[in-house]
Amino acid sequence: MEEKKITIHDILTLKNKRKITMLTAYDFPLATLVDRAGIDIILVGDSLANVVLGLDSTTKVGMTEMLIAAKAVTRAVNRSLVIGDMPFESYQANPQEAVRNAKRFIEEANCDAIKLEWFDRCLEVTEEIIKSGIPVMGHIGLTPQTADKLGGFKVQGKDAEAAKRLIEQAEALEKLGCFAIVLECLPDKIAGMITKKLKIPSISCGAGLDCDGQVLVTYDILGLFERFKPKFVKQYINLAPLIQKAIEEYRDEVIQNKFPAKEHTFTIKEEELKKL
């Protein structure tokens, strides 16, 4: 796999050439593997709240946790573009605070860009962040941070009026200068329509095949998050029982005095021992 660091320009030029790959990561070991596997974009997602911290909502994670995760990920990454996901309340109060927090992802955590979810003042905030020189990925459709305002965790854009609103949002974000947009939980035909209208790449998260790329939560595809599995997730391996088996084996070996074996043990010469 090529080692050259992926740039925003590379992501833009991938549209209509080949599909863009994106996954989440929140820690050093997993980010190392995702990067080494040749994934184009790593999102330090606020889904960290659910899959790592065991919280019931992404609104419950803040800048402190997100920055710790983002720093661990960028330490691991050589090639993938790394995006910091703006947590709820880090950008909603006012555009100035949003710019300040976006800068922390770039300057303190070494991220390449930020992502923020659509909300009432999204355009105003996005414009200020882009004006400050920080690349922004938009996120429309099912936006988990404000899911209560959307009637819960439901597929969005299911009637013509709602779909029209999403098309307008996508076009407005492109006009402001976003370099890509996540489309979450949309009917595939609507996502395809938005993708055709945009010059920038669309990234599907449960929005079908007709987008320019795909993103999923890595813990979901690895079978490491057992609380719920959205319809759009494909589990590529079920690691949870494998990990549990290994841990049980360790437990048994400790109890049965089989671990540590000779090769895991430090020794001292007999003559030194005798001096004691």
Return the exposure string of 207-217: e unless at least 16 CB atoms fall within 10 Å of the residue's CB, then b.
bbebbbbbbbb
Site string for ligand KIV, 81-110 (x = CB under 6 A): ----x-------------------------
Q: Shortest Cβ distance from residue 41 to ligand KIV (Å)?
A: 10
Q: How far apart are CA 137 and CA 129, in angstroms?
A: 11
Of 45-53, 129-137, 157-165, 234-242, the segment contacting ligand KIV by CB under 6 A is: 45-53
Rounded to the nearest 5°, which phi and psi values hold at 187? Answer: -60, 140
Count of other CB atoms within 10 angstroms of residue 245: 10
Q: Shortest Cβ distance from residue 180 to ligand KIV (Å)?
A: 11
Q: Taking CB positions, which residue lies at the least distance from ligand KIV?
A: 45
Torsion sign across C-alpha atoms 186, 187, 193, 195: positive
Q: Shortest Cβ distance from residue 48 to ligand KIV (Å)?
A: 7
Site string for ligand KIV, 192-221 (x = CB under 6 A): -------------x---------x-x----
User: Is 3 among the catalytic positions?
Assistant: no
Q: Which of residues 10-39 bind ligand KIV (CB under 6 A)?
A: 24
Q: How far apart are CA 116 and CA 203, in angstroms?
A: 14
65, 124, 184, 249: the catalytic one is 184
Residues 6+ away with beta carbon under 8 Å from 271: none
Catalog residues that contact ligand KIV under the rule CB under 6 A. Answer: 24, 43, 45-47, 85, 182, 184, 205, 215, 217
